[in-house]
Structure 1
Amino acid sequence: MSINVLGQRLQACSLDPLTGFFRDGCCQHDESDVGQHIVCAVMTEQFLTFSKLAGNDLSTPRPEYGFSGLKAGDRWCLCARRWLEALQKGAAPQIVLAATHEEILDLISLETLVQYAVDRPHF
């Protein structure tokens, strides 16, 4: 069972569009996922532009891969380092804590993640 950053069972990030390294809707991974697709992020125009300029175009449809392209408001499992890079450049999208894998805590503090959360916990 995968655990989220709140120490609870990892929740689904998105089934439409279907996301996750395993395309099961969850931001879980294993050693074959070199990019660590573990951050459930809510797309924004700012982030999609940032990502495209950084070499990862998430907004353009790629029908040959069954990918319709992301738009603002969609949830998507992002690579941990891409979210951190966006944070450092002022373009980080909000995240869903319940659907973000606990391993992100190796790179980013829970306090920082909570600042970007759409599902802020009440401590």
Structure 2
Amino acid sequence: MTKVQKNVLGENLENCSNNPLTGWYRDGCCNTDENDHGIHTVCAKVNNEFLEWCKEAGNDLITPHPEFGFPGLKDGDSWCVCAGWYAKAVEAGKGCPIFLKKTHEKTLKLIPIEVLKKFAIDLS
């Protein structure tokens, strides 16, 4: 990618996680493009409550799928989750902590900044 991607605060997008290696491009960053129909743009610090809710709702983020480069997530991992799924989790009262500086600006098309700030763990 040549264009610098921006976060929800309008700043340069920061790296989300290299262990496990996350992102639409598996580059550690919540970058996206028009092919990312899931909009994997929210850098979440997942917890067990969020992971269990996702699995019950039909989005299993716990079970590894090495064929897709997916290690399976555990409590405390940082991961670029789908903005739509994160929005559903918030509605269900299961939103987990997120990093605004690592969350792509495209997320704002689905989730207002005011909502995101309620879950932010990187605002000083």
What root-mean-square deviation, in Å, do the aligned CA atoms of Structure 1 and Structure 2 show?
Answer: 1.2
Pairs within 5 Å for 1:62-73? 62-73=65-76
Show structure 2 runs of 5+ residues with no match.
none
Show structure 1 runs of 5+ residues with no match.
none
Distance across 2 between alignment mates of 1:5 and 1:71: 25
Identify which range, 106-115 or 85-94, moves more after superposition: 106-115
Counterpart in 2 of 1:24?
Answer: 27
TM-score calculated relative to the size of structure 2: 0.92
Residue 9 of structure 1: how far off its partner (Å): 0.3
2:60 corresponds to 1:47 = no
Q: Count matched residues.
A: 121
Distance across 1 between alignment mates of 2:9 and 2:79: 19
Counterpart in 1 of 2:10?
Answer: 7
Identical positions, percent: 50
Residue 65 of structure 1: how far off its partner (Å): 3.9
Distance across 1 between alignment mates of 2:96 and 2:23: 17
Distance across 2 between alignment mates of 1:20 and 1:68: 13
Contact kept? 2:31, 2:41, Cα under 8 Å: yes
Counterpart in 1 of 2:59?
Answer: 56
Contact kept? 2:83, 2:111, Cα under 8 Å: no
2:90 corresponds to 1:107 = no
TM-score calculated relative to the size of structure 1: 0.92
Output one character per residue of 1:55-108: Cα deviation in whole Å (capped at 9) or x when no partner: 111112234444331101000001110000000000111110010001111222
2:44 maps to a residue whose letter is A
Distance across 1 between alignment mates of 2:62 and 2:31: 22
2:38 corresponds to 1:35 = yes
